[in-house]
Amino acid sequence: MVNRIPGAEVVALSDVLPEELAKVAAKFNIPATFSNYQQVLERPDVEAVAICTPTNTHYQMVLDAAAARKHIFCEKPLDLAIDKIEEIDARVRACGVQLMVGFNRRFDPNFLKVRETVQSGRIGVPHVLKITSRDPGIPPEGYIRASGGIFLDMTIHDFDMARYQMGSEVTEVYARATVLVDPVFEQAGDWDTAVVTLAFANGALGTIDNSRRAVYGYDQRVEVFGSEGMVTVNNNTYDSHICLDRTGTHSSLPLNFFMDRYTESYLREMQAFVEAVQTRKPVPVTGHDGLMAVVIGLAAAKSVRENRTVKLSDLYDGSKSG
């Protein structure tokens, strides 16, 4: 990707693992490396930074980068606590830098086409949003334990997608989750299977279903139903072949790995960040977007635990002002 975004140059790289750091720098011809990210922030030739570290480091790094007047791309979630994300959002504004949150799926050509179709009015007023989001396989146990749970790690993408597609804030959440895939989730106090109902400020309804393991691949579908029609997307498959034999009609599975499935969206996401920095236009995914997805995720987890509807305004005062 380093070489594929015209106008951007990677001038410095920082990582706490020295070997990784050297290897990646060599592979992509990155001139300067540092074990301490502060040194990157000190460089005058650095205009913007991309923070792709574990969630618990985001808060401090974003604040430091903002203080150093660097524009910031940060992977989701910004943090697991609402007040810290609010603080982040306030500080980057105060420092006059841009903060873009890594909801890469917004840049996927299929999901973008759904949004364009909805925005164009072609399906009329949106009534029902449906998202199916199933991972192809379970992450390592260590990752699960540090992930913040299914709603803040996995469904968070769908919560952002929901807001993106409907162009309206979520007001209430009802979620039901369970462990059907692997007991490791139960041991981590997490769930692997979930169904979520969303109510939107515009009166529409939404439903999300998640599983941590779809044996047939990465299942990522979005559908918006409206007063004048419906738009949906199929999964991306390895190829488009169809084979018919005595046993049936057979074709390829959905892509199985997120790097394959979302290659294009990762590239377009970073292009959009670079372009926003260069043109001083607003980034397309803001700190507010990062905040709201976390609020919905926390509401969903609370809903499962208490088996009841949770209003977003109970968790976050500003939920209606977005």
Contact positions vs a second copy (CB under 8 A): 3, 109-110, 112-114, 117, 122-125, 127-128, 130, 132, 134, 174, 176, 178, 180-181, 193-195, 197, 199, 203-207, 209, 211, 213-217, 219, 225, 227-246, 248-254, 307-309
Give the nearer residue to a second copy in terms of CB position, either 92 or 114. Answer: 114
Give the nearer residue to a second copy in terms of CB position, either 206 or 287. Answer: 206
10 Å Cβ neighbour count for 64? 17
Spatial contact of 226 and 124, defined as CB atoms under 8 Å apart: yes
10 Å Cβ neighbour count for 269? 23
Give the shortest CB-313-to-a second copy separation in angstroms.
14
Give the shortest CB-43-to-a second copy separation in angstroms.
23
Give the nearer residue to a second copy in terms of CB position, either 286 or 303. Answer: 303
CA dist 318 and 296 (Å) reads: 13
CA dist 18 and 35 (Å) reads: 7
Give the shortest CB-11-to-a second copy separation in angstroms.
17
Distance of CA 57 to CAs 61, 84, 144, 168, 234, Å?
6, 12, 17, 30, 36
Give the nearer residue to a second copy in terms of CB position, either 67 or 181. Answer: 181
Give the nearer residue to a second copy in terms of CB position, either 79 or 108. Answer: 108
Which residues lie below 8 Å from residue 60, measured CB to CB, with a gap of 6+? none
Alpha carbons within 13 angstroms on the beta-carbon side of residue 73 total 21
Torsions phi, psi for 62 (to 5 deg): -65, -45
Give the shortest CB-167-to-a second copy separation in angstroms.
16
Give the shortest CB-51-to-a second copy separation in angstroms.
25
